[in-house]
């Protein structure tokens, strides 16, 4: 039996919005440094889904994104603990 997990990813829409993800078609979800969040990111697998949450004034889930890679080391970070996953837009809510 194939099991799918669901996650919540949050962003400041002024920094990177769901509209940006739609325009980019795919991105590496990076910038996560908090230990609890990294722990959950390490469990993400290709095919899982993520609710895309806009913080700030919106404070709402605006879309669903698909995890399209397993976690891998953040190629832009100097800290070996930091990881990223690739995501792509799935559905605007």
Residue 37 falls in which region: left (phi positive, over 0), alpha (psi -120 to 50) or beta: alpha
pLDDT reported for residue 92: 96
User: With 0-12 CB in 10 A as exposed, 13-18 as middle and 19+ as buried, what is 79?
Assistant: exposed
Evaluate if pTM is beyond 0.85.
yes
- pLDDT tens sequence for the chain (93 residues): 567 899 999 999 999 999 999 999 999 999 898 999 999 999 999 999 999 999 989 899 999 999 999 999 999 989 989 999 999 999 999
Contact 9, 51 (CB under 8 A): yes
């Amino acid at each position: 039996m194939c099991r799918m997990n669901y996650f919540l990813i949050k962003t400041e829409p002024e920094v990177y919005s769901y509209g940006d993800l739609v325009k980019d078609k795919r991105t590496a979800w990076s910038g996560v440094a908090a230990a609890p969040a990294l722990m959950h990111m390490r469990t993400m697998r290709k095919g899982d889904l993520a609710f895309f949450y806009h913080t700030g004034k919106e404070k709402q889930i605006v879309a669903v994104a698909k995890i399209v890679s397993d976690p891998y080391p953040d190629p832009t970070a100097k800290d070996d603990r930091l990881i990223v996953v690739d995501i792509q837009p799935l559905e605007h809510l």
